[in-house]
Amino acid sequence: MAKVDLGKILKKVEKPARYLGNETNTIHKDTNDENLIRYAHCFPDVYEVGMSHLGSHILYNSLNQDEDVYCERVYAPSVDMEEKMRENNIPLFALESREAITNFDFVVFSLQYELCYTNILNMLDLANIPLLSKDRDEKCPLVMVGGSCAYNVEPMADFVDIALLGEGEQLNREVVRAYIDWMKTDPYNNGKTKRDFLELVSEIDGVYIPSFYEFEYNQDGTISELKVINENAPKNPRKRIITDMDAIEYPEKMIVPFIETIHDRIVLELFRGCTRGCRFCQAGMIYRPIREKTVDRLKGIVDNMIKNTGYDEISLSSLSTSDYSHIEEITDFLVDEYASQNIGVSLPSLRLDNFSMEIAEKIQQVRKTGLTFAPEAGSQRMRDVINKGVTEEDLRNAVGKAFQMGWNSVKLYFMIGLPTETYEDLDGIRDLAYEVIDIYRDINGGKLRNKFGVTVSTSTFVPKAFTPFQWHGQDTQEEIREKQKYLVGRLRNGNIKYNYHESKSSLMEAIFSRGDRRLGKVLLEAFNNGSKFDGWSEHFDFDRWMRCFDACGLDPSFYAHRERSYEEVLPWDHIDVGVTKAFLIRENEKAKNNELTEDCRWGCKGCGVNVNDIGRGLC
């Protein structure tokens, strides 16, 4: 397979280092080996974003453990690079070998964000791979997807051969090993086809083959029935989990980029899962049960990562980092061991109810990082609705501790448009921001220093599959704009900065997060009309999307704003993530009554994972 010649174009594009490969700790194998299975791990965004995605580093490291498998990285070329590639007939290529991915065995995309879907189509097109799975012949790569959005892959179903559900370290390798064994039988000379392989792997836990299922619809557009149309396919494909977090590989030789990326630091994963049960949070539901790494395992990982990367910051990463049961022990170790080398520690996700002054004092010894707290909602009633489990007193204690220790600013994150929200709940956002100012003033003798500030950020609630709020509609554009305008007026203060997320992109996210297969034709229409990088405001064209919905005869409100009944068949109902639908219904009903559900660390709440063999008694 010939290498792509980039000599003509790299001098003409911004940030050519995005496309060079050969960074420190990259893996290289002999691509002349005919027995080598080629795996393109594609992240549907630019290099700086993809290189900051921990899951990509984990899979890259895991797959390359096998000598006969070569996993290489592929990122979405920026607009200027794509233009030069098309002008010079340069196909999409992998960074390590600089070979076109057209003839790879697997082309695999990480689905982390709905607004990256058109980038996937664009990358397939750049690779000269037919977009629709039905149009690909036996010589085309198998197109797989994984990641959080794969749990409802239906809007992408027409473009995907295989969807992987759950954690991928073992699952990806199992699928690839099955392919290697299958290829040893010389399938094409024996009359076997890719369909035969898809039937084979459909029996692996965590594998979902969209083409083996078919939906029928009612006259009102809702789903009437899901049919399993291949006898090998399971009725309820179920997610895969890693049971022993200490036993799996971790990228201790993480690739160090040539240019600055979104997260230029060591990322140390403490655990997976979450026990808090926030009712809006998809990750907190689909990543259950909670599984921690031991402190000894973490010590070994971080020591090797520092030696192999040269980074001077360690970010402790998990869904709710401060919930790690040995958080004090690991932070003590990291500070005591590495502060003398000017290596800092950061905690990116802090809860108001377990903010530790002692830990904060330790980690600021090297450098003081910013503090972000997420009350999520302004009023206690609203926080009870979403099961956040924090109080205003928690906020006062946390920010008070921070200001006493010398912090001059904090960031507060909220969502607007949550189910049952009223304008009184929005007033609570204002009240909390002003209370933070008062706390700072009290601690500093009635004075506000020049560097003091409170940043209030709001995003729009997006209903997600497999959450208790999956049946709720999203606020309309007009409703969200009115709420944003309302907050602008109430947060006018020289010490408060108010940021809010563009509601139009949140609408698109809501459409595709709960969408069905009919949205595939909208995606194709949008791509054919120039949509890509929809997650970037400078490229997102809302009016173009609305024209595409009109052209396809579909109503965006049907997917985004409509309330759904418990009896309605949802596009993802057949997927088994361990958490039962009965539990989600129960939690939604409790939300309507402002009732809390206690953290399941203190007693099982019957979500289903503990009795389902997916969980295998882990919680």
- Name the residue with higher pLDDT: 15 or 402: 15
The whole-number average pLDDT for the span 577-597 is 96
**pLDDT tens digit sequence for 473-492:** 999 999 999 999 999 999 99
- Give residue 615's pLDDT: 52
- Residue 88 domain-assigned (yes or no): yes
**CA distance between the termini of the chain:** 48
Look at residue 269 and tell me whether its pLDDT is greater than 70.
yes
CA pair distance 387, 277, nearest whole angstrom: 7
Q: At what angle do helices 117-126 and 79-87 cross, to 10 degrees?
A: 20
**Nearest residue to 109 via CA among 171, 161, 178:** 161
**DSSP 3-state of 442:** helix
- Distance, in Å, from the CA atom of 234 to the CA atom of 386, rounded to the nearest integer, reads 34
CB count, 10 Å around CB of 198? 21
The reply to whether 161 falls in a domain is yes
Residue identified by tokens 């160090």 is 256
Look up residue 130 and give its two tokens: 């037919």
- Residue 141: give its domain's CATH number: 3.40.50
In this structure, the number of other CB atoms found within 10 A of the CB of residue 352 comes to 24
Residue 387 tokens, joined: 């099961």
pLDDT at 581 over 90: yes
Per-residue model confidence (pLDDT) at position 142: 98
CA distance 84 to 86: 5
Mean pLDDT calculated for residue range 389-412: 88
Report the alpha-carbon angle 510-508-93, nearest 5.
115
- Quick check: 396 and 369 in contact, CB under 8 A? no
Full domain range(s) for residue 112: 10-228
Q: How far is residue 418's CA from residue 379's CA, in Å, rounded to a whole number?
A: 12
Two tokens at 125? 């097109």
pLDDT over 70 (residue 244): yes
At 335-370, the pLDDT tens digits run 999 988 999 888 776 677 766 767 777 777 766 666
Secondary structure tally for the chain: helices H, strands E = 19, 17
Asked if residue 132 is part of any domain, the answer here is yes
State how many domains the chain has: 1
Q: Please give the DSSP secondary-structure letter assigned to residue 240.
A: B
Domain contains 54 = yes
Confidence (pLDDT) at 158? 98
451 falls within a domain: no
- The reported pLDDT for the residue numbered 349 is 62
pLDDT above 90: residue 427: yes
Q: What is the mean pLDDT of residues 545-563?
A: 97
CA proximity to 428, closest of 372, 385, 477: 385
Which residues, including other chains, have CB under 8 Å from residue 388's CB and lie 6 or more apart? Answer: 276, 278, 375, 376, 377
Query: What is the share, in percent, of the chain residues with pLDDT greater than 70?
Result: 97
Segment 421-437 shows an average pLDDT of 96
Q: What is the pLDDT of residue 354?
A: 67
CB 198 within 8 A of CB 162: yes
Note the pLDDT tens digit of each residue in 380-397.
999 999 999 899 998 888
pLDDT at site 616: 53
Query: If pLDDT is split at 50, 70 and 90, which confidence band does 323 have?
Result: confident
Is residue 276 classed exposed, middle or buried when 0-12, 13-18 and 19+ CB atoms within 10 A define those classes?
A: buried
Does some domain include residue 467? no
Amino acid, single-letter form, for residue 404: Q
pLDDT in tens, 281-305: 999 999 999 999 999 999 999 999 9
Task: For residue 339, tell me if it sits in a domain.
Answer: no
The share of the chain scoring above pLDDT 90, in percent, equals: 80
Confidence band of 121 (pLDDT split at 50, 70, 90) = very high
Residue 579 lies in a domain: no
Per-residue model confidence as pLDDT tens digits over 143-192: 999 999 999 999 999 999 999 999 999 999 999 999 999 998 877 778 88
